[in-house]
Chains A and B, each alone.
Chain A
Amino acid sequence: MMVEVMELPKSRINASMLAQSIDRPVCFVGRLEKIHPTGKMFILSDGEGKSATIELMEPLDEEISGIVEVVGRVTAKATIMCSSYVQFKEDNHPFAPPLRNLSFSLSVRYSEKEETPHHIWHPNRDLSTEGK
């Protein structure tokens, strides 16, 4: 299953899109909030303060912290069954979680099978004034 998800396009989602993404391969970026004592589950919060529960087939074999990007499939319970993850380096530069609109843009764009995604951004859109 791990290999299978790797070969497929993954939608980048935030927590509010989990319910609509059941059974789909997804990519989720969030900050580590909590690890379950068994090491087989952890919670990540997204850029909008909502959380996703990440389940693992095997317990974690290392310490994880900070920003984690998870690749996996959304379960019927709207958790993510993780097939792989990477930790974002924050030693020298803190990571600014993308605005909600970015995850939306990415999801729409990259769900297309062909060529260039459509431009979602309006050129005059001022991101600095948009809320999270």
Chain B
Amino acid sequence: MSKSEFGSQGGFSATSGASGSNDGPSQGGTAPFLRAPRSRARIETIIPCCVNQLLTASLVEDVFKVRGIVVSQVSVVGIIRKAERAPSYILYKIDDMTTKPIDARHWLGRGKAKQALAPCPVGVYAKVFGILRGSAEVKILEVLQIRVLEDMNEFTSHILETVNAHMMLAKAQEAAYGQSAPSAPSEMGLAPEYGEVRPEFIQAEVLHLIHECPRQEGKSIRELQTELGSLSITAIKEALEYLMVEGHIYPTVDGEHFKSAD
């Protein structure tokens, strides 16, 4: 296992400790770590993610994928819930509220500086750069860098970056392959297996957008669709139906425009 895996990564100092985890299938009975496929592009991007995405990523031919997007080097921002010091690593649990905390292991290597490394404090937000490892069932984040957030606006930026990155990657994929990734929802809307998407959130947002619209003829369904990204037309129509029944909005010029009743 050479330095070349990290050689092209720029900002990170390659540590033999981190790459040590790639040696052999099992070390002391831990889950086997995957080798990142060498045939992949040498420059690997860092994809901002939420923990839920990492823990539900599928394993396709030795590669983790989130909605068809390959994820290897990732960044997450979350609260450090646990920091356990072991002789050659620190084991963290990182919680970003999207699901249960994810295990994140920071290998310490043999250097004196690394050995003296104190674990980050528990109960604070940290930004973690790492590589997603493990099996389809049990995943762990192999930490390349972890630092406590000094500026909490980084927490907000990370969320926005996550939204943006995944959106752009999905669009690029669609453009490249001429169709959505296999697991992406069709125009029919959010598939039931995605679990509950709270309709009241959709209703509140649709109402807000209609309420904000200053025009006489009101807000059109088309505009709502554009502004609400990939929320399906069905979901939007259901929200409109509910809001009309409850008397919050009313249709104006045609069946396609709505104004707020408030």
Option from A10, A27, A111 in Cβ contact (under 8 Å) with B196: A111
Produce 1/0 per residue, B192-213, CB < 8 A to A.
0111111011101100100010
Q: How far is the CA of A67 from the CA of B151 in the complex (A)?
A: 12
* Segment touching A, from B31-39, B93-101, B108-116: B93-101
Interfacial residues of chain A within 107-132, with CB under 8 A of chain B in the complex:
107-123, 125, 131
Q: Are B67 and A108 in contact (CB under 8 A)?
A: no
Q: With A20-B200, A71-B97 as given contacts, are A121 and B195 in contact (CB-CB < 8 Å)?
A: no
**Contacting pair B230 A119 (CB below 8 A):** yes
B124 — which chain A residues lie within 8 A by C-beta? 86, 89
**Given contacts A115-B53, A115-B183, A17 and B201 within 8 Å (CB-CB):** yes
Are the CB atoms of A111 and B163 closer together than 8 Å? no
Which residues of B sit under 8 angstroms from A96, Cβ to Cβ?
153, 156
In the complex, whether A75 has a CB less than 8 A from a CB of chain B is: no
Interface check B166, CB cutoff 8 A: yes
Q: Could you tell me which residues of chain B, from 184 to 233, have a CB within 8 Å of some CB in chain A?
A: 185, 190, 193-198, 200-202, 204-205, 208, 212, 226-231
B81 CB within 8 Å of chain A: yes
Asked if residues B195 and A114 are in contact (CB atoms below 8 Å), the reply is yes
Report A3-24 CB contacts with B as 1/0, cut-off 8 Å: 0001111111000110010000
Question: In the complex, are the beta carbons of B69 and A108 less than 8 A apart?
Answer: no
Report if B172 contacts A (CB, 8 A): no
**Is A88 an interface position by the 8 A CB rule?**
yes
CB-nearest residue of chain A to B226: A122
Closest to B124 in A: A86
Closest A residue by C-beta to B227: A122
User: Complex: how many Å from CA A119 to CA B69?
Assistant: 14
- A120/B229 in contact, CB under 8 A: yes
A120 partner, pick from B58, B66, B204, B231, beta carbons under 8 A: B231
B193 touches A114 (CB 8 A): yes
Q: State the Cβ distance, A56 to closest chain B Cβ, in Å.
A: 16
Looking across the interface, which residue of chain B has its beta carbon closest to that of A26?
A: B97
List, in ascending order, chain B residues with CB within 8 A of A60's CB. Answer: none
A119 to B66, CA, bound (A): 14
Are B125 and A113 touching (Cβ within 8 A)?
Answer: no
Partner of B56 from A98, A104, A113, A122 at Cβ < 8 Å: A113
Within residues 76 to 94 of chain B, which ones have a CB less than 8 A from any CB in chain A? 79, 81
Q: Please indicate the chain B residues that have their CB under 8 angstroms from the CB of A86 in the complex.
A: 79, 123-125
Residues on A with C-beta less than 8 A from B197 are 108, 111-112
Beyond A27-B97, A118-B190, A121-B163, 7 additional pairs, beta carbon < 8 A: A17-B200, A86-B79, A89-B149, A92-B150, A93-B151, A104-B205, A113-B194
A: which residues have CB within 8 A of B?
A: 6-12, 16-17, 20, 27, 67, 71, 86, 88-93, 95-96, 98, 100-102, 104-123, 125, 131
**12 A-B pairs, CB-CB below 8 angstroms?**
A10-B97, A20-B201, A20-B204, A89-B149, A91-B150, A93-B150, A108-B198, A110-B50, A110-B97, A112-B195, A118-B185, A120-B229
